[in-house]
Amino acid sequence: MHLLSINWNPSEGIDLGFFMLRFYSLMFVVAFVLGWFLMKKIYLREGLTVKELDSLFIYTVLATLIGARLGHFLFYEPEMFIKDPLHIFLPVEFSPKFRIVGFRGLASHGAAIGIIIAMYYYSKKVIHKPVLWILDRVVIPVACGGVFVRLGNFMNSEIIGKPTNSDYGVVFQKLGETFPRHPSQLYEAAGYIIVFLVLWYTYWKTDKRKHLGYIFGLFLVLLWTVRFIVEFFKENQVAFEDQLSLNMGQWLSIPFILIGFYLIYRSRNSEKTANP
């Protein structure tokens, strides 16, 4: 008996009869909708229109889902590009029978790359501002959205933490376990809340938004540092990670952190501002 543990065995979602509305999918919807309202507040301050915001919403949703999906298979299961490419792009299974399974397997590193690429095109085609200008702003709702994504992982009992070897922790009964693990999803969500609050304060209460790349660089350093630290409490996602000194999530986080420091340094030593 684990006196300090929590037995966790929630339902997968809301059964509508013809369709299961999964909590994980619902958390994505919440993340995107809340992100739209946060960016609307920012856009109104910057004198941009809702039409331009709607375009940003479409770019961000597509970039997040496509980038996260491709990133998972590129970094963790590259053999699937040859073995079963339809599984990568379609949210359904045809065998043994047709059913909607959603997109299981999303990598945040892939989502980050996808968003950066999408923001480049958005900045050139829609708002005609430097790409760092939009990145400095869009990362604020992105950090907030990360909180809900990890809550969705917790609801799904996935991306689980390592055993605590103590009474403390969460027993993921859905996995058929009887011992507590670190709730690494909640650790990460809590870290992202802090990242969001720091970025929000920096944008609204300081003049750093005037320096191209500063807030984006700060985001890269803070968010991927949180990810790097939390990975110590997570189980590896694929077997080959057991042979690495650091797991894949940590190795992929290091370049983002270094780029973040560079952008912060560059913004502080540059006379260019966010409104050239």
Feature table: binding site: 150
- Label the pairing between strands 13-15 and 99-100: unpaired
Q: CA-to-CA distance for 31 and 145, rounded, in angstroms?
A: 4
Distance of alpha carbon 246 from the chain centroid: 20
Q: CA-to-CA distance for 223 and 192, rounded, in angstroms?
A: 7
Q: What angle do CA 38, 26, 196 make, to 5 degrees?
A: 35
CB 231 within 8 A of CB 249: yes
Please give the single-letter amino acid code of residue 241: E
CA-closest candidate to residue 27, choices 128, 152, 121, 168:
152
End-to-end CA distance of the chain: 63
